Amino acid sequence: MNPRALLLWAGAVLLLSLGTEDPVYRAIALLAALTMVLMRRRPAVRVSRLLAWVGLACLGGVGLNFLLSHTGQDVVWALPGWLPAIGGTLTLEAAAFGFDVALGLGACLLAGSALALVVDSQQLVEALPRHLHRTGAALGSAITLVPRLGQSFSTVREAQAMRGWRPRGPRSWRAVAVPAVLTAIEGSVLLAEAMDARGFASGGRTKVWTPAWSGRDLVDAISAALAIAVFITALLLGRAGGWQPYPSLELPAVDWLPLLASLLLLLPGLV
């Protein structure tokens, strides 16, 4: 996939996920991001762990809002008032609002992850305009930091296990966490030294290759651009209003204009 088309699509998903509180549009944006990650990821890229962490983050958001927000008319359960923070009524409206927030959070996380899973980080840097070259290099390094840290953590854990280490509580994980973080920092320092040795940012920007635009890439970019244009039009016309489950839970209103914008986001992951 052309990195410029991917950046445009990711921006469209973020705009729609953050620009409205309607769970219908956010659910479609989440489905579009999930489809992109599953169908357009690079070969040999595993996403099971990513999906597990995103799912846990979304479930945590639902649980926190359900326990901490005591607003709403439909009471599901009542906890003793002496419990700090969570004491009081637990309502269906709080759970629904937490679910709505989780949909937007999941869509944003998966859209951001697609930038690292669908194309290489170097391709993203090359796709940015000339005046954003340094920002793109920092962005590319940041995108690869978490995978490198995870790989370092797994390597150190296996090495410590071969030496007889066994997890015996939170404190025992220091034997794994400290070397893993130090290894990741050392890798970042080596990367900075290599970039400095090669004269990074000392001269004009050069490109080894320029990604070509295929017919599929044009469809991806056009659908993302149309989604952005249609959704902004819906916002200006007041047809992409928010959704609030308080004080009484109601079904969200669906308008065809923002619905069309959200459905256009599905096209790049399916073609």
Q: Which residues contact 12 (CB under 8 A, 6 or more apart)?
A: 224, 225, 227, 228, 231, 264, 265
Mean pLDDT of 185-194: 80
Considering the chain, what is the average pLDDT of its residues? Answer: 85
Q: Answer yes or no: are the C-beta atoms of 20 and 242 closer than 8 Å.
A: yes
Q: Which pLDDT tens digit goes with each residue over 176-188?
A: 888 888 888 888 7
pTM (2 d.p.): 0.77
| Residue 226 reports pLDDT greater than 80 | yes
Q: Which pLDDT tens digit goes with each residue over 22-32?
A: 999 999 999 99
Q: What is the pLDDT of residue 58?
A: 93
Q: Which pLDDT tens digit goes with each residue over 142-166?
A: 666 766 777 788 888 888 888 888 8
Percent share of the chain, pLDDT over 90: 34
| Residue 203 reports pLDDT greater than 70 | no
Which one is predicted more confidently, 196 or 179? Answer: 179
Q: What is the pLDDT of residue 200?
A: 67
Helix (H, G, I), strand (E, B) or coil at 51: helix
Residue boundaries of the structural domains of the chain: 3-270
Q: What is the pLDDT of residue 50?
A: 87
Q: For residue 9, which of 236, 251, 225 has the smallest C-alpha distance? A: 225
Q: What is the pLDDT of residue 208?
A: 58
